[in-house]
A and B are shown apart, each in its own frame.
Chain A
C-alpha cells in the first residue's frame, strides 16, 4: 500500500541554513510525530524510535533512516525502513530547496510503502492517518525553521 505526499512552503533563511537543519538528525528527528528518541550512527544514518498506533493497535517502531542524497544546499533525500505491528514501512522523503527572495522555498515529496498485517487490518485508515502524520511533520518542520530563522515568509 503506497501513500504519496507532496507540498511546498517557504521559510526565511538561506538554503544552506535550511539544508543544515534538515540534515541534522538531532534537529530533524524530534519533529517526527510521536517521536520517542533518536540514535545517530554517523553523518548519514540514524535510527529513530516513534510511537505508532491505529485504534487499539499500538506499537513502537524503530525506523532506520539513511540520508541517501545530500546535495548541499539544493536537495536532501531520506530513505527509511522500519517494522511495526506485524508489518513493515519503507519510505522515501526528499526536500528540494531553492532560494526565493530573502528566504528558501522547500518543495517536499515522498512515498511511504506499508507492508504486512497492518494493511489488511487497518488498510482503509492508513492513508488518511499517514497523510495526517506527514502534515504534522511538515507543520513541525515549518515551525522549527521559522523559529530558527526568524519567521516564515
Chain B
C-alpha cells in the first residue's frame, strides 16, 4: 500500500476553494434569523425621536391592550432589576450609567426607550406605535469639540462630557522643533462618521430558561466572549449560565460587537414572558441610526517639524474623538490608534493630546480599521500636505520618510514592534502596476486642458492581534492583558477529523484556512477535515478574547488550530506507535486506500483514523494504562507573548503583526458636476505568508470597496439638533459593484517573525482608499488653493471647497521655512 498524492504538498499557501462557498452561494447558509423556536415572540423597540431629552412620561397601556401584545418593558423596569453595564473608562467616564433602554432621559435619536413583545412582528409594530412617550427636549450637542465645553451635559452622573484624556509623548519634541528646517501648521482636519452596512443587520434570539436557570442566545454578535462578560455583570448571573451560539454572519466589520444591550433586553423580555424565546431583528434604518457607527475624530493644531530634506522629525497635535452617546467599547479607541503611532514613517518625536467626548449621536463601535484608520488618515494627510507645501513629489516624500526594510523588526517610539515590511518595494510594485510615469504625463496634459486630475498614494498598516494590556493605558484598573485563542482538534468516534474554533467568521473563510492548517499537520486533504466555526460557549474552545475582530484570525486563531492539531498528531503518533508496533519516528501520516491513516515506514503496517478512534472511544480495553491519557480530543489555547505595557509612559508592544497596504488612485473631478471619478486604482498588500491567495485577494477587494465607499459616498450626517439625516440607503449610499473601479491587485510577502506560519492578520486593510482618495483629490485641487481637510468628499463638499468655503489652504495651513531649508 502506498501513500498517495499530496504526501509533501503544502496546503497553506495554496488556492484552496472556500469550503463555505457551496453553502453560502446556494442559499444554504444558516443565519441568526433562520432560527425559529416554538412559542417564539417578537420584540420591537420604541425609539427616541430626540437626540437629547428628558423622558417626562411613558404610557404603554394602549399598547398592552392590543391583542397579541404580550408585554412591554421600560428602562426604569430594567434599571430596577439589573446593574448598569460595565464601563471601561476610569474616573468621569466610568461613572456613566448605561442601561439598554433609556431610563430618565434619551441621549441620541433612535435610542431604545420601550420594548414591546408580541406574537408577531406586525403586532409588535402596532404595539410600538401605540406607546406614548412624552419628552422634554434638552439642548443637544453634536460636535465633540463643543461637547468638551460641557455647555450641555449628557451624563449628569459623570459631570462632564469628557470620557478620557491622555497625552502620548515620546522623544524630544521641543528639540526637534528647535532644529527643524521647516515647520508646517495645520489648523483642523476631520475624519467623518460612517458605518459598515453589513448585508445582515443585528439579530438576537434569546430565552431565559427558568427550568435550568440559563440564558440562551442565538445571535450574530461578532465578539461574544466580550459580550457575555458585559451581560453577566449586567443581568446579575454567573457567566457560565449564559450560552451564546453564532452561525453564519452576513458581515459585521466590528459593528456587531456592540449588540450586547439589545441582547440584554431580549433576555429580560424572555424572563418577563415566563421564558418564551424572544427574537429581535433589526431593520436597516434602526441599524443606521442606532446600532453603532465608526469613530469620528477631529485633529486640531497640528504642527510638523521637518529637516532640510523634507524628512518629518516631529509631530504635535490635539485629537478629539467623538464616541457618541455612550462609550460602550470605548474608550479603548483612545489607545488602539497608538498601535500604529508613527504609521509607516520613521519620525521619533511626537506629542498627541488625545481626548474623547460623548455627543448626542449614535454610540460608536469598532469599525473595520477601528481607531487606527483615523490616525493613519491623519498621518497620510500630514505627509501629503507637507509634500505639497514643500514641493516634494508624493512618492519621493514617502521614500524619504518610510521605515526602511533593513530596520525591521522596528520598534516604534511607543514600544510597538513592527514585525516586517518593505514599504519602498510596495510603492515600486504599485507604481509599476498603475503605470505611474504614464499617468503623470497624462495628468500634465489633462491639466493643460483645465481638467482636475489627481494622483494619490496611501500607505497604511493593518495591525492584527491586540495586546489587551493596552486597555490599562486608558484605565490602569482594567482587568485585561495579553491575548489568547482556543481551538479543538479531534478524531470523532468514526475517525472524522473535526476542528472547532471560537471565531465568528463573516466571510473571512475560517473554515477553509483552518482546514488548510490541519491538513498540513496531518498530511491529508482539507476536504477530509470538518471545521466547526461560529461561536458556541458549550464547545469550550473560547477564551475571553474569542470572536472575530482586529485582523487576528490568521495569527491567533490559526495558531490555536495549529497547536490543537499538533497535540492531536502527537497523540495519534503515540497511539499509532503502540498499534503499529513501531517507533514514533518511523510513522508517517497520509492517505491510503482506506482514507487518512498512519503508516509504519519499517514494517508496512497501517491503521486508518477510524481504527485509531475506535480504540480510544469504543474498544478501549486494548489500551495499556500508559495510553489512558490519549483522548484524540485535543484542546489548545494559544497565548500571545505580550507583556503588560508601561501605563505611565504609555509604552509597550500593543500588537503582534503589521500587515501593510499601499494603494494608488488616479481621480478626476468632473468640471461640470464635480463628481470624482476613479480613473485607475491599484491595491498592493503585504500580509506576510499568504495562507489562501484568493481569500486574501477577496478581502483586499472588500476592504478597498469599503474604503472607497467611505471616501466618496458614505457619511452619517446629523443636523444641528441631532437628527440623523442619512438613515436609509436613499441618503446613505453604500458602495456597490456599480460604483467600484477595476482594482489592480498586487502583493508582496514579508513573512512575519511573530507568527508560526509567517502570516500576518489582514482584512481590515487600514482603510487605505480613504487616505489614497483624499491624497488624489488634494493633488487635483492643490493648485487651486484647496487642501483636503475632511475624509469624506462628495460633489457638494468639493463645490464648497472650490468656492472657498472650506479647505482654504492659505488660511488653514501655515508654513515656516527657516534658514537651511533646501526641500
Q: Do A and B bind each other?
A: yes
Complex interface: chain B residues within 8 A of A1 (CB): 719, 721, 723, 725
B726 interface residue per 8 A CB criterion: yes
The count of A-to-B residue pairs whose CB atoms sit within 8 angstroms is 55
A123 B725 Cβ-Cβ under 8 A? yes
Binds B, one of A29-37, A109-117, A128-136: A109-117
A100 interface residue per 8 A CB criterion: no
B720 A87 Cβ-Cβ under 8 A? no
Interface digits, B103-135 against A, CB 8 Å rule (1 contact, 0 not)? Answer: 000000100000000000000000000001101
- Contact flag A115-B720 (CB < 8 Å), given A86-B49, A121-B727, A121-B728: no
Complex interface: chain A residues within 8 A of B49 (CB): 83, 86-88, 115-117
A116 B137 Cβ-Cβ under 8 A? no
Alpha-carbon gap, A50 to B51, bound state (A): 25
A26 interface residue per 8 A CB criterion: no
Q: How far is the CB of A4 from chain B (nearest CB, A)?
A: 12
A114 B723 Cβ-Cβ under 8 A? yes
Q: How far is the CB of B518 from chain A (nearest CB, A)?
A: 48
Alpha-carbon gap, A83 to B137, bound state (A): 13
A115 B723 Cβ-Cβ under 8 A? yes
Those of A85-102 within 8 Å (CB) of chain B:
86-88, 90
Complex interface: chain A residues within 8 A of B133 (CB): 83
A88 B721 Cβ-Cβ under 8 A? no
Complex interface: chain A residues within 8 A of B135 (CB): 88
Alpha-carbon gap, A113 to B48, bound state (A): 15
Those of B676-720 within 8 Å (CB) of chain A:
719-720
Alpha-carbon gap, A115 to B48, bound state (A): 9
A153 interface residue per 8 A CB criterion: no
A55 interface residue per 8 A CB criterion: no
Cβ-closest chain A residue relative to B128? A86
Complex interface: chain A residues within 8 A of B289 (CB): 117, 120
B724 interface residue per 8 A CB criterion: yes
Cβ-closest chain A residue relative to B129? A86
Complex interface: chain A residues within 8 A of B132 (CB): 83
A119 interface residue per 8 A CB criterion: yes
Which of A90, A115, A121, A123 contacts B109, CB < 8 Å? Answer: A115
A147 interface residue per 8 A CB criterion: no
Complex interface: chain B residues within 8 A of A121 (CB): 285, 727-728
Complex interface: chain B residues within 8 A of A88 (CB): 49-50, 135
Alpha-carbon gap, A53 to B725, bound state (A): 18
Q: How far is the CB of A129 from chain B (nearest CB, A)?
A: 16
Complex interface: chain B residues within 8 A of A119 (CB): 719, 723, 725
Complex interface: chain A residues within 8 A of B724 (CB): 120
A2 interface residue per 8 A CB criterion: yes
Alpha-carbon gap, A150 to B195, bound state (A): 60
Alpha-carbon gap, A83 to B285, bound state (A): 19
A116 B723 Cβ-Cβ under 8 A? yes
Those of A103-153 within 8 Å (CB) of chain B:
113-117, 119-121, 123
Alpha-carbon gap, A121 to B285, bound state (A): 9
B731 interface residue per 8 A CB criterion: yes
Complex interface: chain A residues within 8 A of B720 (CB): 2
Interface centre among A86, A115, A119, A123 (most CB of B within 10 A): A115
Q: How far is the CB of A14 from chain B (nearest CB, A)?
A: 37
Alpha-carbon gap, A93 to B47, bound state (A): 28
Alpha-carbon gap, A1 to B731, bound state (A): 16
Complex interface: chain B residues within 8 A of A2 (CB): 720-721
Complex interface: chain B residues within 8 A of A87 (CB): 49
Alpha-carbon gap, A90 to B138, bound state (A): 12
Complex interface: chain A residues within 8 A of B726 (CB): 120
Complex interface: chain A residues within 8 A of B727 (CB): 117, 120-121
B721 A113 Cβ-Cβ under 8 A? yes
- Contact flag A123-B137 (CB < 8 Å), given A115-B51, A115-B109: no
Q: How far is the CB of A114 from chain B (nearest CB, A)?
A: 7
Complex interface: chain B residues within 8 A of A116 (CB): 48-50, 109, 723
Those of B716-746 within 8 Å (CB) of chain A:
719-728, 731
Alpha-carbon gap, A115 to B722, bound state (A): 8
Alpha-carbon gap, A121 to B289, bound state (A): 12
Complex interface: chain B residues within 8 A of A115 (CB): 49-51, 109, 137, 721-723
Alpha-carbon gap, A85 to B737, bound state (A): 34
Alpha-carbon gap, A54 to B133, bound state (A): 23
A120 B731 Cβ-Cβ under 8 A? yes
Complex interface: chain A residues within 8 A of B728 (CB): 120-121
Complex interface: chain A residues within 8 A of B725 (CB): 1, 119-120, 123
Q: How far is the CB of B623 from chain A (nearest CB, A)?
A: 67
Alpha-carbon gap, A117 to B49, bound state (A): 7
B50 A117 Cβ-Cβ under 8 A? no
Alpha-carbon gap, A124 to B720, bound state (A): 15
Cβ-closest chain B residue relative to A62? B132
Q: How far is the CB of B106 from chain A (nearest CB, A)?
A: 10
Alpha-carbon gap, A2 to B137, bound state (A): 14
Complex interface: chain B residues within 8 A of A120 (CB): 285, 289, 723-728, 731
Complex interface: chain A residues within 8 A of B719 (CB): 1, 119, 123
Q: How far is the CB of B785 from chain A (nearest CB, A)?
A: 31
Interface digits, A1-38 against B, CB 8 Å rule (1 contact, 0 not)? Answer: 11000000000000000000000000000000000000
Complex interface: chain B residues within 8 A of A90 (CB): 137
Interface digits, B38-54 against A, CB 8 Å rule (1 contact, 0 not)? Answer: 00000000011111000
Interface digits, B44-72 against A, CB 8 Å rule (1 contact, 0 not)? Answer: 00011111000000000000000000000
12 contacts between A and B (CB under 8 A): A2-B720, A86-B49, A88-B49, A88-B50, A113-B721, A116-B50, A117-B727, A119-B719, A120-B725, A121-B285, A121-B728, A123-B719
Mark A residues whose CB is within 8 Å of B.
1-2, 83, 86-88, 90, 113-117, 119-121, 123
